[in-house]
Structure 1
Amino acid sequence: MRTGAAAGHEGYYHEAVYYSSDDELLSVLVPFLSEGSEAGEPTIVALGERNATLVRSALPARSRVEYLTGGAVYARPTAAIRSYRRLLAGHLAAGAPQIRIIGELPASAFGATWDWWTRYESAINHVYNDFPLWSMCAYDRRTTAEDQLAEIARTHPRTACPDGTHPISTAYVEPVTYLSEPRTEAADPLQAAPPLADLPEPTPASARAAIRSANAGAVIGDDDLEDLIVAVSEAVTNALVHGRAPATMRVWAGDGRIVVTITDAGPGPKDPFAGLMPATDRATGGRGLWIVHQSCNYVTAVSSPDGFTLRLTAGNPG
């Protein structure tokens, strides 16, 4: 039986926590974690080092709480989804009636890759809904921009408040609608210069060769290079098999990263969760986009009247 504010709720109970001081954060987190521990529910903390230490010192010594390394959990949105689903499935199989998690995004998520993380926060309302999960996502008002706070309200159905209430967010947008909204992503600064490679009708082989050539000066490390090679192979294959001709691929390199765009004249995937959720249907290109999102440090996807563009970034996202 589920406990606390999520009692009687089916599926994922997803909340944002907004705070402007340590005391304000602890006033929400300590009861949430203590009640979960006392109820025998798997109770997990995935915060950065500072806030994890703060929480640990505020909880009773007897509390049964598992601490994850927040930065490692949130390396990439798809990595977080993969690791959390594995964790949740394990607890569910062990008979957990409810799982509690408090997490926070790393500081890097609030920079160039912010849109990727907003899509993550929206998608998980669907992706985790087959688990009895109650999670809170902590956001510091002192360091989070107003436009970012607005997106947080649109991707979190509820708010956990210091007074113990859990109001519904009036700004919340269902994931299918949110993820289907038209997006105009800002170009990477590297794209202001002519591309190092401009391939009309690329093949996976020519795409891989272009990436190796672009990294001749060791712009990115070997691991990032190999991951990007896998990603461009999948992305080009998707464009050729599931997209619409003509397809093009362009490559830029510098400032510790390689940026690649793959464009075709088609409308892009019909599934708004494509790339963010594990897929098993190769015929729709879902598995390929999942691999792309696993393999890059930043991925954007934009549909326009001219076609569909994937932008892949390996190395420092900027």
Structure 2
Amino acid sequence: MPIQATFDCSQTLRDASPMLRIAAVERETGIAKDTLRIWEKRYGFPRPSRDSTGDRVYDSSQVLQLKQIRRLLDAGMRPGKVVGLSATDLAQLLAESGYTVAPSLSKTKNGFVQTDSTVSALLDLIGEHSALALRHALAHAQMRMGVAPFVTELVAPLSEAVGEAWAQGRFKVFEEHFYTEVVSSLLRETITSLTPLSNAQYPKVLLTTLPQEQHGLGLLMVEALLTLEGCECVSLGTQTPLEELTDAALAHRADVIALSFSNVNSARFVQDNLRALRHQLPQSIQLWVGGACPVLYQHRIDGVIPVGQLTRIPEAVTLWRHRG
């Protein structure tokens, strides 16, 4: 919820496998399988190998280029101008189009000033592979800023910057995973220290993603903010089967299910699954959604509440408390 941080602010978990099948590439890049096949035929890129069963598989360097291409297309460029360019040329175009790995940040409410150098310094610590130094820097920032500004004004844009650094070739998969684990550990400790006693005045929220969503850091960010508001949270992690969500909500006596959708999901997948879930859920259980997937906000579904920005979580909780 950029930066307008969304539920899926973290897009930092990657598949560590050196060769990905086309379905995994679609999830990683947001480029449809049919489009990848068309580009292969029309532009000679990507250039997949074949596994033992004859299926297309792609190495990590091609996935990197496809991620770069996706960002350039989002910036308004046409496929014919960018598909097939080298990673170096793509990175240059990204730089010229305004993509950076250190977004400008503003002064927070409590006076903690963040600049490009704040994010740049943390990116440098990630590159130095020092878990102790990175954790100390993040923990110190959280103490100075407070939990909510730390999540929305530092972790969210930093996670975005880490994702961009990966797309531009600065970070490798293991460095993204390293960052994610350090931040996740810190957020889990924060959530534990904040966990309130059960209070009927605040919703009990079940947090998860559907099976195609592998990214979990965003859920932790949402959980921290909800817990700070007084909510009791139950996290199922990522990729909960749709058919089990109602059972899980009833078993935990949840008032709300909160789901995250990144922009790698197709509009039809998101809409079909949300309609199906809303149909099977009791009306008393609210369904909140967030993430970078545009269809969440372009085409509303009855009974589904798009929260969107992380900063709107307090408002969503307030509306729940005054429902009726």
Whose helix proportion is higher, 1 or 2?
2
For normalisation by structure 1, the TM-score amounts to 0.26
RCO higher in 1 or 2 (8 Å CA, sep ≥ 6)?
2
Whose strand proportion is higher, 1 or 2?
1
